[in-house]
Amino acid sequence: MSAAIEHHREQAIFEGAAIGVREFHCSGRDGQGNIEIVDGAQLCIVRTGLFGYQARGREHIADANSVLFLRQGLEYQTRHPDGRADACTVVTIPEASLRALTSTPDAVSAVRDVPWTVRAVSTEAFREHWTLLRELSEDAGDPDRPLSIEERALHMASELFSAPLPKGPARLARAATERVHRELVENVKELVAVRVADRLPLAELAAEVGWSPFELSRVFRQRTGLPVHRYRRQLRLRTAYSRLADGESHIGDLALDLGFSTHSHFAEAFRSEFGLAPSAVRAQGPPMPAD
């Protein structure tokens, strides 16, 4: 990603020979015709917010359930449906590491053969990337710290590349059907993310996108591996985790802001998803990127 665009702010927080890590923040204000070019292969893990990523005539919605693979040299544009800021952790991958991570003999194959642009991030990988950010804020005088960070970042990248994709239909859909289904899922993801605090029952969601509840539910689960309600809950909880890790102090207000009716309901759901209480994430304090 490029730091030259005024509404983007990017900071390198670790640069190793095998892998690098950057903080990336976008104000959510879209420029006119702002075409950018990917500088090197990158994995972009969304922490908060959402944006549309448009490249090669397709748009993908990226949110806190997502990791985005940015291909070297690709021209792209971004769009922010709700006009709000987003924050991402960007893992930069040199050519040699990309070949090793994708088990391909050359850089062209490594980029070409990755079968996805945006994909789901497991809860384990989402937490692992926060652990990585915290390790980056620890004592820079530790002589083993750079090696530990590179190993952790490479392992995380390997897990993201090797995790299985959701199973599709038994037979490949015709191109027209494939396009319609893909657009449906991206529209639903955008609507759910923009209205993440709303209850938005299935019938209303289906009416918004012009599909029947049954077909919407079937296609969404088929393409994402999750039912819509689980996707939305995961998005709410990951947004909460990131906001707490970044220093949000009022857990009750955060719960209400994300659509939970009570503090206790939110805390129970959070503990079930991440294995710890919201207060435990808040108590760790925000990671401070090293200079």
Do 57 and 109 belong together in one domain?
yes
Residue 168 lies in a domain: no
Count of structural domains within the chain = 3
Whether residue 85 is found in the same domain as residue 204: no
Q: Rounded CA gap, 4 and 6, in Å?
A: 6
Residue 130 lies in a domain: yes
**CATH code at 256?**
1.10.10.60
Query: Which phi and psi angles does 147 have, rounded to 5°?
Result: -65, -45
Statement to judge: residues 261 and 195 lie in one domain: no
Looking at 117, 138, 162, the residue that finishes a domain is: 162
Q: What is the DSSP letter of 79?
A: E
pLDDT tens, residue order, the chain (291 aa):
444 445 678 899 999 999 999 999 988 887 665 688 888 899 999 999 999 999 988 999 999 999 999 988 889 989 999 888 999 999 999 988 988 888 888 777 777 778 889 999 999 999 999 999 998 887 667 788 888 899 999 999 999 988 888 866 545 457 778 889 999 999 999 999 999 999 889 999 999 999 999 999 999 999 999 999 999 999 999 999 999 999 898 999 999 999 998 999 999 999 999 999 999 999 988 885 544
**Residue 18 sits in the same domain as residue 97:** yes
Residues 207 and 252 in one domain: no
Question: What backbone phi and psi angles, to 5 degrees, belong to 118?
Answer: -125, 135
In-domain check, residue 98: yes
Same domain, 236 and 212: no
Distance CA 290, CA 193 (A): 31
Residue 2 lies in a domain: no
For residue 169, being part of any structural domain is answered with no
Range of the domain at 205: 175-224
Q: What is the dihedral of CA 45, 51, 57, 58, to 10 degrees?
A: 70
Tell whether 189 and 249 lie within a shared domain: no
Which residues are 42's β-sheet partners? 70, 92
| pLDDT score at 198 | 92
What is the per-residue pLDDT for 291? 43
Last residue of a domain, one of 162, 194, 209: 162
Residue 291 within a domain: no
Of 116, 130, 147, residue with least CA distance to 53: 116
Whether residue 256 sits in one domain with residue 216: no
Q: Tell me, what CATH number does 41's domain have? A: 2.60.120.280
Residue 203, token pair as written in the block: 């019938």
Instruction: State whether 77 and 93 are in the same domain.
Output: yes
Question: Do 40 and 67 belong to one domain?
Answer: yes
- Position 37 scores a pLDDT of 87
Q: Single out the residue in 120, 141, 162 at which a domain terminates.
A: 162
Assess whether 150 and 24 both reside in one domain.
Answer: yes
CB of 77 closer than 8 Å to CB of 34: yes
Q: Are residues 267 and 200 in the same domain?
A: no
Residue 260 lies inside a defined structural domain of this protein: yes
Residue 36 sits at φ, ψ, to 5 deg, of -120, 160
**Does any domain span residue 250?**
yes
